[in-house]
């Protein structure tokens, strides 16, 4: 079968031949249909995050997949059923641990998990994968074409769940939300705040010049675009309003701290970015005092569990079709994999290597690789 | 009647004569027994926090009180009943607002409340006070001698409630807690973690040389004393263990950030200090990444509401008597008010003024002023 693999830090993903995997007991064989590409994939390609399985020098990429059960292999799944695989698995050689037993692998610390397509386990960019049936979440056939968006949406489901939990000890009535970042996760989250989560006023911060399709999506959702070059995060309360929720999806470390200033009293900032080390000065006294005197909270969130995938499928069903059609800017077959990774190929091109891929024209939002028609 | 007033920023508290207040409809007249002194009182005395009521140049101090109902004035309270007053009230001229209506004045933002004895309203260091009956929490007579500890304990009740809420979206099983600060609030919180909250391992960070009564209390509670001069907060995980909860009661702004490093995965830092502006460098990239990849949370908490006072009365009942007897190092009548404010008098003495008060000998933990025998 064909699979897309990468040697972390050593160039763009390539298509290779690999043997079709055989399902073990309790596992199903899944024929993959589509797999989304996100920022984490680029970090894995660059070698700045994640890593290959022990004893391997390549990693099959991909952690945002939708496929169809090819061989249920005696599990309770049905052949022909569309499924979305979750990402975390117990470490190699370990059957389970307390986090997996509780259904909360997203809360497992380092060393207690691997992540398929990211760290320590091969991913889903292959014609076939095997997975424990319990880690395959059924999705209705009519949603399958967008099924590769379930994983990123589940990331927001978890982050919002945890953010709400921080505010569950009192009567919290949030109305305003600010999303930092105009990437695919940011825009999906803007769509969720504006529609399924029903926030009254939604804002999205980015660094794009008008006209721009990302800004069009934000505004068509009824949200307000804020240009960070004109209004820094900490000035947003004065220029717009203080925010009940800030959702950070930029990985820009100063945003984690500026979010505290952007919050309304009793607000919460959910952080999702994974920045590198970066030292800078903050008015730590003021930020500390702000957190205390205004009962503010900051919560980090990573990964998601099966419950969040199930919630994400409901969300996917509820989001307006046009948002999905606008956010997904390209679905590419194996013959044009480079176009699914425009940022990787753009970087390779920038580094002076030949590349058949399309340059990153800044209007790419979300791409996916298609292994099989839906 | 006698009352203890202060001109913020203009010296030590003094005893003055004031008229006995008359209860309005819905209010009771309370004869005050004891009022505790805490760090906030010193901030008010210095003028760095809080402020006098509009049109006044003095503030009656005191927000940690226990008294006895002298005139129920037609309310449902009973004369002779011991009560503890809550602290926040609607602003002058305002009957109520949404926060007070919900029973959550602790979540009201600036401008939506005054605080008795702190900002905008006279406090409880007087022979008599009046208060709406709804803001007077009954306390059993056998606990009344320690009733002035209900307010500080309620501060921790709220902070812990909010900290637990941040972790309520998953199966959290905290075992280790670190309290930053050996002041009275820190020590009361160590006692709570070690007894009523039933944490398995409790640590308390301070800057005291052995032998010291504060260290004795920590160790008698089965907790571990950590000297911050030997082990900075961020090195505590390596030297001891990562902490499921960090409770900051120092007001030292760097602790708010170092707490993130001290936390175990899925842990939460509760911040209670109110520092002044202070800029310093942090490795913001690493802290941001730590929060995200390990699902950590930081929550600020201020004030408390009636529900927390009620919980605090249960806690007070459950705490070992010796902890209260050890933490309360002095109860002083009006004839020796200076001894109830040793830090204020020490500062006045240091500034070259005459002072009849005792110097702050560093073993004072918690003092109270007694207006009437219990």
- CATH number of the domain residue A83 falls in: 3.90.180.10
pLDDT at A348: 57
Question: Same structural domain for residues A168 and A282?
Answer: yes
Q: Residues of A within the annotated binding site for NADP(+)? A: 182-185, 272-274, 301-303
Residues of A in contact with B275 (CB under 8 A): 284-285, 288-289
Residues of B in contact with A289 (CB under 8 A): 253, 274-277
**β-strand partners of B64:** B36
Question: Same structural domain for residues B157 and B296?
Answer: yes
Min Cα distance A116 → chain B (Å) is 16
Average pLDDT, integer, range B161-178? 98
Q: Residues of B within the annotated binding site for NADP(+)? A: 182-185, 272-274, 301-303
Of B232, B281, B278, B240, which is closest to residue B259 (Cα–Cα)? Answer: B232
Question: Same structural domain for residues B216 and B105?
Answer: no
Is A364:A329 a contact under the CB 8 Å cutoff? yes
Residue A148 lies in a domain: no
Question: Same structural domain for residues A158 and A281?
Answer: yes
Residue B313 lies in a domain: no
Min Cα distance A175 → chain B (Å) is 16
Give the three-class secondary structure for A131: strand
Give the span between the Cα atoms of A133 and B316, in whole angstroms: 51
Give the span between the Cα atoms of B295 and A228, in whole angstroms: 27
Put residue B27 in one of left, alpha, beta given phi > 0 → left and psi -120 to 50 → alpha: beta
Min Cα distance A336 → chain B (Å) is 33
Is B337:B345 a contact under the CB 8 Å cutoff? no
- For B114-137, write each residue's pLDDT tens digit: 999 999 999 999 999 999 999 999
Min Cα distance A261 → chain B (Å) is 13
Task: Given the cut 0.90, state whether the ipTM is greater than it.
Answer: yes
What are the structure tokens assigned to A27, written together? 């596992």
Min Cα distance B93 → chain A (Å) is 23
What are the structure tokens assigned to A347, written together? 């970087």
Of the two residues A264 and B349, the one the predictor is more confident about is A264
Q: Residues of B within the annotated binding site? A: 40, 115, 151, 182-185, 272-274, 301-303
Is B24:B130 a contact under the CB 8 Å cutoff? yes
Tell me if A109 and B266 make a contact (CB, 8 A cut-off). Answer: yes
Give the span between the Cα atoms of A50 and A44, in whole angstroms: 6
Give the span between the Cα atoms of A317 and A150, in whole angstroms: 10
pLDDT at A349: 55
Question: Same structural domain for residues B11 and B114?
Answer: yes
Question: Same structural domain for residues B232 and B256?
Answer: yes
Tell me if B265 and A295 make a contact (CB, 8 A cut-off). Answer: no
Name residues of chain A where pLDDT drops below 50.
Answer: 353-359
Question: Same structural domain for residues A263 and A337?
Answer: no
Of B37, B69, B62, B88, which is closest to residue B139 (Cα–Cα)? Answer: B69
pLDDT at B358: 46
Give the span between the Cα atoms of B13 and B42, in whole angstroms: 10
**β-strand partners of B248:** B180, B271
Residue B362 lies in a domain: yes
- For A14-57, write each residue's pLDDT tens digit: 999 999 999 999 999 999 999 999 999 999 999 998 999 999 99
Average pLDDT, integer, range B322-343? 96
* B207 contacts chain A (CB < 8 A): no
Residue A267 belongs to domain with CATH number: 3.40.50.720
Q: How many CB atoms lie within 10 A of CB A197?
A: 17
Residue A146 lies in a domain: no
* A298 contacts chain B (CB < 8 A): yes
Question: Is pLDDT at B156 greater than 80 in this prediction?
Answer: yes
CA atoms within 13 A on the CB side of B63: 30
Average pLDDT, integer, range B181-190? 98
- For B46-102, write each residue's pLDDT tens digit: 999 899 999 999 999 999 999 999 999 999 999 999 999 999 999 999 999 999 999
Give the span between the Cα atoms of B85 and B81, in whole angstroms: 12
**Pairing mode of beta strands B366-370, B27-37:** antiparallel
Residues of B in contact with A300 (CB under 8 A): 288, 290-297
- For A189-245, write each residue's pLDDT tens digit: 999 999 999 999 999 999 999 999 999 999 999 999 999 999 999 999 999 999 999
pLDDT at B361: 65
* B276 contacts chain A (CB < 8 A): yes
Residue B146 lies in a domain: no
Q: Greatest CA span in chain A, whole angstroms?
A: 60
Cβ under 8 Å to B: A residues 165-204: 165-171
Question: Is pLDDT at B346 greater than 90 in this prediction?
Answer: no
* Optimal mutation site among A173, A285, A286, A294, interface B, most CBs of chain B within 10 A: A285
Average pLDDT, integer, range B188-212? 97
Min Cα distance B228 → chain A (Å) is 19
Sign of the dihedral through C-alpha B120, B126, B130, B132: positive
Give the span between the Cα atoms of A259 and B292, in whole angstroms: 14
Q: Which helix (H) or strand (E) holds A182?
A: none
Sign of the dihedral through C-alpha A56, B292, B279, A284: negative
Q: Residues of B within the annotated binding site for substrate? A: 40, 115, 151, 303
How many domains in chain B?
2
Question: Same structural domain for residues B179 and B253?
Answer: yes
Of A266, A300, A334, which residue is a domain's last?
Answer: A300
Percent of residues, chain B, with pLDDT higher than 70: 95
Of B300, B328, B345, which residue is a domain's last?
Answer: B300
pLDDT at B343: 85
What are the structure tokens assigned to B364, written together? 């004072």
Question: Same structural domain for residues B42 and B163?
Answer: no
Is B214:B237 a contact under the CB 8 Å cutoff? no
Residue B144 lies in a domain: no
Residue A324 lies in a domain: yes
Question: Same structural domain for residues B118 and B220?
Answer: no
Residue A147 lies in a domain: no
Q: How many CB atoms lie within 10 A of CB A17?
A: 7
Question: Same structural domain for residues A124 and A7?
Answer: yes
What backbone phi and psi angles, to 5 degrees, belong to A309? -65, -40
Residues of B in contact with A288 (CB under 8 A): 253, 256, 271, 273, 275, 300
pLDDT at A347: 61
pLDDT at B355: 43
Question: Same structural domain for residues B365 and B327?
Answer: yes
Residues of B in contact with A274 (CB under 8 A): 289, 292-293
**β-strand partners of B298:** A298, B269
Is A254:A281 a contact under the CB 8 Å cutoff? no
Give the span between the Cα atoms of B68 and A86, in whole angstroms: 61
Q: Which domain holds residue A181?
A: 153-300
């Amino acid at each position: 079968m064909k699979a897309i693999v990468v040697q972390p830090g050593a160039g763009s993903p390539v298509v290779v031949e690999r043997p079709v995997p055989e399902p073990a007991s309790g596992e199903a064989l899944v024929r993959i249909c589509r797999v989304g590409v996100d920022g984490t994939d680029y970090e894995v390609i660059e070698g700045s995050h994640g890593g290959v399985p022990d004893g391997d020098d390549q990693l099959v990429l991909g952690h945002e997949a939708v496929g169809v059960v090819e061989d249920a292999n005696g599990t309770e799944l049905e052949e022909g059923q569309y499924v979305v695989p979750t990402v975390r698995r117990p470490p190699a050689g370990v059957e389970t641990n307390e986090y997996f037993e509780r259904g909360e692998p997203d809360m497992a610390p380092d060393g207690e998990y691997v992540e398929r397509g990211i760290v320590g386990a091969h991913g889903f960019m292959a014609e076939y994968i095997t997975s424990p049936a319990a880690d395959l979440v059924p999705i209705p056939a009519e949603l399958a074409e967008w099924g590769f968006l379930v994983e990123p949406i589940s990331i927001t489901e978890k982050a919002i769940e945890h953010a709400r939990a921080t505010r569950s000890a009192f009567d919290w009535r949030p109305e305003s939300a600010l999303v930092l970042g105009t990437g695919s996760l940011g825009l999906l989250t803007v769509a969720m705040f504006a529609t399924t989560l029903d926030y009254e006023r939604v804002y999205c911060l980015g660094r794009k010049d008008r006209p721009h399709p990302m800004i069009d999506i934000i505004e068509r959702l009824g949200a307000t675009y804020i240009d960070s070059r004109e209004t820094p995060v900490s000035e947003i309360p004065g220029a717009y309003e203080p925010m009940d929720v800030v959702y950070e999806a930029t990985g820009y470390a100063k945003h984690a701290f500026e979010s505290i200033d952007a919050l309304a009293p009793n607000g919460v900032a959910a952080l999702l970015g994974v920045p590198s080390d970066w030292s800078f000065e903050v008015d730590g006294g003021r930020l500390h005092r702000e957190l205390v005197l205004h009962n503010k909270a900051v919560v980090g969130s990573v990964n998601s569990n099966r419950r969040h995938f199930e919630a994400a499928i409901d969300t996917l069903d509820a989001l307006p079709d046009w948002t999905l059609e606008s956010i997904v800017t390209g679905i590419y077959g194996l013959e044009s994999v480079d176009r699914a990774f425009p940022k990787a190929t753009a970087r390779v091109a920038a580094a002076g290597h030949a590349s058949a891929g399309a340059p990153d024209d800044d209007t790419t939002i979300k791409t996916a690789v298609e292994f099989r028609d839906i």
